[in-house]
Structure 1
Amino acid sequence: MRNIVLQRSPAKALGLLFLILALLFLVKLPFLVVADRDSYPVLFFALTGKKEFSLYYTHSVQKTPVQENFFVDQEDRLLLTSTEYESLGVGTPFLPDEGKLVNQQGKYFLSGLSRHFEEVDLGASPIAGHALIIKNKKYIVNDYFAPNELVRIRVIRCSTAFILWQKIVHRRETVD
């Protein structure tokens, strides 16, 4: 009886190892990726729980802060849901058909937006001070990209093995 138990244990261990490796390589999870113009990923953000993030910057004309709030939908598209800004003017939405605009103590909140994007491109401008806000943490774009470099934000699905490879071999920053 003891021989049978010893013979089955290595088989079970091997089966468990195979299952774990299969999960690492086959199961693909959504990640928000911030990449350069060649789609070379620099930052990975795991999209677990609330799939929300914000893009913060200083408006080029008004010179006031803007925060665009996004949600990642079931099709892994970026959905612009609302915008917050401090002044009306060129380049800031304000028409009634663009959503519900509310002014609270000098700050404008435009909600009810439903604009889908496959990706969002921006120039990493130190003047605009672009930043991503994810899970209440701010990531300054110019800490990771050269001034005026094209930056592409999108969602990709990738395996845990791929993320580990990016983190270990290419020293990419991954954020849970």
Structure 2
Amino acid sequence: MNRQRTKRFFLGLLLASVLVGALLPLPTLLVGEQQGATRLAIPLVLDQSFTYEYLHSVLKTPVQEKFILAPGHDLLLESTTYQSLGVGTPFLPGEGELENHNGLYVLKGQNRTFHQLNLGLVDFTKQAILYRGSRYELADFFTSGSLIELQVKSMTPAELIWLSLQSFQERR
């Protein structure tokens, strides 16, 4: 009789843990069209930072902007990395601390906070989100000329599953 009770107790505990886990909110990077549906959701659980990468429209060299999650689900621009100085690349003393690592420029200490990022998708800029070794090409989710919004919101695993199902249905 004791074994039966113990078994039921652990089964109940497991079920309760699964239910609580399904309702536990997680910070999630949502990427969607402005005023439209979310096309990509990346839970920021194991690492609360991501990189936005693109080719500079004038210099045609790669730029990486590293963002970290700030209080209130804001995005803090931690650093910008690029390969050449020129039009549109930050370099003034008030913009942060610029370091030169053998021709790779890293601007740190920018301390710019955003509630959301608004982007326009342009084919030749090869825009992507990098997170924990994965690369998400924005052109795989949006058409050229799309106005894109990146923001962080709390979502439960159940909501993420529902969002994934909706996205899957829309792509069919």
Q: CA deviation at 1:76?
A: 1.3
Indicate the residue corresponding to 2:19 in structure 1: 21
> Max radius of gyration: which structure?
1
For residues 149 and 7 of structure 1, do their structure 2 counterparts lie closer, same or farther at Cα, with a shift above 3 Å needed? same
RMSD of aligned C-alpha atoms? Answer: 2.4
Paired position in structure 2 for 1:99: 96
1:35 maps to 2:32: yes
How do 1:1-176 residues align onto structure 2 when only pairs under 5 Å count? 17=15, 20-25=18-23, 27-171=24-168
What do residues 132-160 of structure 1 show as CA deviations (whole Å, max 9, x unaligned)? 11112221110111111111111010111
1:169 positional shift? 4.0
4+ residue runs of structure 1 moved beyond 6 angstroms? 4-12
Equivalent residues of 2:75, 2:114 under 8 A apart: yes
Counterparts of 1:64 and 1:56 in 2: how far apart (Å)?
11
Distance 1:136 1:5, change over 3 A: closer
Indicate how the Cα distance of structure 1 residues 116 and 10 shifts in structure 2: closer, same or farther if over 3 A, else same: same
Give TM-score, length-normalised by structure 1. 0.83
Higher relative helix content: 2
Cα offset, 1:68, TM superposition: 0.7
Cα 1:8–1:68, aligned 2, differ >3 Å: closer, same or farther?
closer
Deviations 1:51-104 (A, max 9, x none): 111111111122211111111123211100111111212211101111111122
Query: Distance between the aligned counterparts of 1:161 and 1:45, measured in 2?
Result: 14
CA distance in 2: counterparts of 1:18 and 1:50, whole angstroms:
26
Give the percent of matched residue pairs that are identical in Structure 1 and Structure 2: 34
**How far apart are 1:18 and its partner, in Å?**
5.7
- Which amino acid is 2:19 matched to? L
Q: Please, which runs of 5 or more residues in structure 2 have no aligned partner?
A: none
**1:20 CA drift (Å):** 3.7
Check 1:163–1:107 CA distance in 2 against 1; reply closer, same or farther (3 A cut). same
**Structure 1 alignment gaps of length 5 or more:** none
SS at match of 2:40: strand
CA shift, 1:107, in A, is 1.7
